[in-house]
Amino acid sequence: MGRRNKKGDPVHGWINLDKPLGMTSTQAVGKVRRLLNAQKVGHAGTLDPLASGILPIALGEATKTIPFVQDDIKTYEFTVIWGEQRDTDDAEGDVIDTSDTRPSECEIKEILPSFTGEIEQTPPRFSAIKINGQRAYDLARDGKDVEIKSRHVYIAELALLSTEQDKAHFVMTCGKGTYVRSLGRDMALKLGTVGYIGALRRIKVGCFTQDNAISLDNLEKMDYVSARNEALLPLQTVLDDIPALALTEEETSKLRHGQSLGFTSRPDFTRLQNVGLGTKECQTALVCFQNEPVALVDQVRAEIKPVRVFNLK
């Protein structure tokens, strides 16, 4: 094993981390950065300390592909505790209301359709939403009144897994910006009671699932060379759903220097069509040279324009 660079190395790719309970997403990212001795890291979708599960972490040039994961569909398993409302809408907060009402399994199933599809939702007071430049959770902790505007979110599926006397277990698949804490709070109110999220686990983010995730404990057992070889996923892992176009060496050089490429001749335009480009007026694509990612580009009619050029050296 070579000498460790104190400033970190240019490591590029993704770590599909199974974040443990009790750790912030920022702390988890810092751990991964140190364990892989990477210069640059970022993550796609924050998990609260009281939540566990899939936290996709991008390293190096893979940080340029984070938007493709942030906008992807996510799946959660969660538990709603009936009978208490907390100011944080999870187990960490103070009790602000109570109720003796406990919904039946039939009653719970009846309300699920009203929380499926595009719904209106108000984020929790203790959230990272910005209000006049300040985080809502900072204002809430200072005891200030927090007025958060409702927003439209998308819930593709919501199902009841099981029920107990004071709790119910659910699984949900949803789009970007959906707050599970808000969902639990609102379902309880719809059922004529109050409630909060007692447990939360994210089991899927786009192509990242718990089946191919690595725990922090297992990652910590590896040295940084082994971690890069065994746990690091390619940068293009999150780009499987967009067209990929192979470039020539000359085209690659032009693109790396910020130049656009024209595909106006019939043979060149056929190259676009063969990989699914050219059917729409504007499309995002990945371009490669010798199977190595070169850039994210916009295909506008018969022209390729660089958007994010990768420096993998």
CA neighbours closer than 13 Å in the CB half-sphere of residue 311: 4
Would you say residue 7 lies in a domain? no
- Does residue 61 carry a pLDDT above 80? yes
Q: Which of 182, 204, 226 is the last residue of a domain?
A: 204
Q: Is 186 a catalytic residue?
A: no
Would you say residue 78 lies in a domain? yes
Same-domain check for residues 144 and 211: no
CATH (domain of 283): 2.30.130.60
282-313 tens-digit pLDDT:
999 999 999 999 999 999 989 999 999 999 87
Would you say residue 88 lies in a domain? yes
Same-domain check for residues 54 and 109: no
In angstroms, the CA 52 to CA 171 distance is: 14
Same-domain check for residues 291 and 142: no
Would you say residue 110 lies in a domain? yes
Same-domain check for residues 198 and 79: yes
Same-domain check for residues 103 and 185: yes
- Give me the number of domains the chain comprises: 3
Would you say residue 183 lies in a domain? yes
pTM, whole model, 2 decimals? 0.89
- Average pLDDT score over the chain: 91
CB atoms within 10 A of CB 171: 15
Structural domain harbouring 48:
13-72+207-238
Same-domain check for residues 21 and 169: no
- Does residue 263 carry a pLDDT above 50? yes
Same-domain check for residues 113 and 189: yes
Same-domain check for residues 65 and 212: yes
CB neighbour list of residue 61: distance below 8 Å, 6 or more residues apart: 12, 235, 293, 310, 311, 312
Same-domain check for residues 165 and 152: yes
- Does residue 69 carry a pLDDT above 70? yes
Q: Which of 238, 261, 291 is the last residue of a domain?
A: 238
* Closest C-alpha among 154, 209, 149, 159 to residue 176: 154
Same-domain check for residues 100 and 182: yes
Q: What is the mean pLDDT of residues 168-177?
A: 96
In angstroms, the CA 247 to CA 128 distance is: 42
Catalytic-labelled residue, pool 48, 72, 90, 186: 48
Q: What is the mean pLDDT of residues 48-66?
A: 95
Same-domain check for residues 162 and 189: yes
Would you say residue 146 lies in a domain? yes
Q: Which of 178, 204, 230 is the last residue of a domain?
A: 204
Would you say residue 53 lies in a domain? yes
pLDDT of res. 135: 65
78-121 tens-digit pLDDT:
999 999 999 999 998 999 999 999 999 999 999 999 999 999 99
CATH (domain of 95): 3.30.2350.10
What are the φ and ψ backbone dihedral angles of 71, each rounded to 5 degrees?
A: -85, 0
* Closest C-alpha among 60, 90, 51, 54 to residue 72: 54
Would you say residue 5 lies in a domain? no
Same-domain check for residues 227 and 169: no
